[in-house]
Amino acid sequence: MGKAAARAILVLSAAACAAAGFVVRQRIVNRIKCRRAVAVLEEFQQSCATPLTLLRDVVDAMDAEMFAGLASENGSKLQMLLSYVKNLPTGHENGLFYALDLGGTNFRVLRVQLGGIERRVVNQEFEEVPIPPNLMVSTSKELFDYIASELVRFVATEGENFHLPPGQQREIGFTFSFPVKQTSIDSGNLVNWTKGFSVSDMIGKDVVATLNEALQRQGLDMRVAALVNDTVGTLAGGRYWDKDVMAAVILGTGTNACYVECVDAIPDAKGLHQTSGDMVINMEWGNFWSSHLPVTEFDKALDSKTINPGYQLFEKLISGLYLGDIVRRVMLRMAEEASLFEHDVLPKLSVPFTLRTPDMSAMHEDTSPNLEVVKKKLQDAFGIQNTCLETRKIIVEVCNIVTERGARLAGAGIVGILKKIGRVGNGATSRQRTVVAMDGGLYEHYPHFRKYLQDAVTELVGPDVSKLIAIEHSRDGSGIGAALLAASHSQFIEK
């Protein structure tokens, strides 16, 4: 071998050794980073823990707050609003009914032909209509005239499969997902707008009267028969198909719950002048609070940056709008204290709500050997290009901790409702089947969330009682539920 060749071999060997040394050093650095990140992870996991003893405390707190909210107007963080829904659907409803679902930048209109106990839902059609942004900050007349004009257009497309009985007026169920002080099944005054609406001359007005007047101006012979919250609509939609539905929960971008209460259990302080039967109570449970809730420094930081700090704290622990951002905040801490990612991604990690809950769910549900979905989501959301498998596993575990806590707390809330109505616990008055109707994208599209929620319910009530509790998905219950409530509260029902 010549000297030149020997020198080349020495150079290549040195380069190979240097490269090998770099790889070894990089692995050591990665291990150190991961170790520091794991320390943050373990601390976060401890602060989010939801052992059975804590969940039982949450159940008892929910039960107590429900009693307090019914007892007086401001007795609890739970508003416990009377819905004035006493006639839940039975399946015997007949005729043509409409629904209007207003709760965001779009509204939905729906019609359904009901055929009684034998034929049930004969036909149904719906349409989604965008609301021009200028009308969201305009006057009540302009906003509701636009809605009424779209209803006129929708009614004009009735086909041969829809029939209004002779001599009857069209009736509509109005799902209005804004804070309302309801005074009857077909009246309620707007408290305040949310979700980007700011029609100031509407505050304090009766929303049903406003819509009825707009319908008259448009020449449409239609009246609002029922004003409902979307959660109440979900319960009604579930009850139509299953007489054992006693509660409904929405777990989506936000969250809420309602349930069927005996009117005799509602104190006179609520101003109810009826003495028998059942009524649906809209809990507004997103504002539930208890010292037993496992709130971390990340939750407190998130709350301080929302438009309603100090309010809707239960919602901020369990609903889809917030879960992804809690994960982002933990990741940011890991980046700052453990240098888990490159420094140039810190600005992107610092932007609130950059990580959406659907992205978090995709990472959590990733079953690929190298967690390729996690890798791509980190790249897309934050520009994080280089992550080792250990780092991706850590991120998945953060998602798992946040999801498990939220779902288990939601499960405890459900058991709290069942305890209040005497279906579980030492004071249970019956051992009968009880169904909870569920709706919302978080529950529908996040399998881990569903499993953790069900597991928590089973742990709390025991395996034998859990067999009597069914949590059933009720897709789009609020839409058809409003039409069903219009039917069950129709002025044309034979008394």
Are 77 and 97 within one domain?
A: no
Asked if 255 and 401 sit in the same domain, the reply is: yes
Together in a domain, 305 and 454:
yes
- The pTM (predicted TM-score) of the whole model is 0.88
Q: Is residue 493 part of a domain?
A: no
CA distance 230 to 44: 34
Taking a C-beta distance cutoff of 8 angstroms, is the pair 447, 63 a contact? no
Tokens of 162: 């829809």
- The answer to whether 172 and 111 have CB atoms below 8 angstroms apart is no
Token pair 């007047």: residue: 213
Q: Are 286 and 230 in contact (CB under 8 A)?
A: no
Beta strands 245-251; 434-439: pairing state? parallel
Last residue of a domain, one of 171, 197, 228: 228
Pair (72, 93) in one structural domain: no
Whether residues 396 and 472 share a domain: the answer is yes
Q: Is residue 482 part of a domain?
A: no
Q: In whole angstroms, what is the distance from residue 446 CA to residue 320 CA?
A: 10
Domain boundary among 204, 228, 252: 228
User: Could you tell me the residue range of the domain that residue 338 belongs to?
Assistant: 51-81+242-476
* DSSP symbols for 446-469: -HHHHHHHHHHHHHHH-HHHHTTE
Distance separating alpha carbons of residues 440 and 255, to the nearest angstrom: 8
Residue 463 lies in a domain: yes
**Is there a single domain that holds both residue 176 and residue 250?**
no
C-alpha span between 475 and 109 (Å, rounded): 16
71 and 96 assigned to the same domain:
no
For residue 279, count other CB atoms closer than 10 A to its CB.
19
Do residues 338 and 452 share a domain? yes
- How is residue 206 annotated by DSSP? B
The reply to whether 34 falls in a domain is no
Report if residue 361 sits inside a domain. yes
Instruction: Verify that 156 and 277 share a domain, yes or no.
Output: no
CATH of the domain at 452: 3.40.367.20
The answer to whether residue 137 sits within a structural domain is: yes
Q: Look up residue 249 and give its two tokens.
A: 């929960």
Catalytic residues: 195, 230
Hunting for tokens 């028969």 — which residue is that? 225
Encode the chain (495 residues) as per-residue pLDDT tens digits: 555 554 544 344 444 443 344 344 445 455 667 888 899 999 999 999 999 999 999 999 999 999 999 998 888 999 999 999 989 999 999 999 999 999 778 899 999 999 999 999 999 999 999 999 999 999 999 999 999 999 999 999 999 999 998 889 999 999 998 888 898 999 999 988 877 888 989 999 999 999 999 999 999 999 999 999 999 999 999 999 999 999 999 999 899 999 999 888 787 656 565 556 889 999 999 999 999 999 999 999 999 998 889 999 999 999 999 999 999 999 999 999 888 887 777 888 999 999 999 999 999 999 999 999 999 999 999 999 888 999 999 999 999 999 999 999 999 999 999 999 999 987 676 678 999 999 999 999 999 999 999 999 999 999 999 999 999 998 767 789 999 999 999 988 765
State the total domains in the chain: 2
Take residue 420 and report the two structure tokens written for it.
Answer: 């209040």
Question: Does some domain include residue 10?
Answer: no
Burial 152-172 (b: 16+ CB within 10 A, else e): eebbeebeeebebeeeeebbb
Q: How far apart are CA 349 and CA 355, in angstroms?
A: 9
Same domain? For 220 and 339 the reply is no
Q: Which of 228, 250, 285 is the last residue of a domain?
A: 228
Q: For residues 120 and 196, what is the distance between their CA atoms, to the nearest angstrom?
A: 37
325 and 189 share a domain?
A: no
Residue 446 lies in a domain: yes
Helix axes 389-420, 3-47, angle to 10 degrees: 10
User: CATH number, domain at 204?
Assistant: 3.30.420.40
Question: 329 and 197 share a domain?
Answer: no
222-228 β-sheet, strand order: 121-130, 106-115, 94-102, 170-176, 222-228
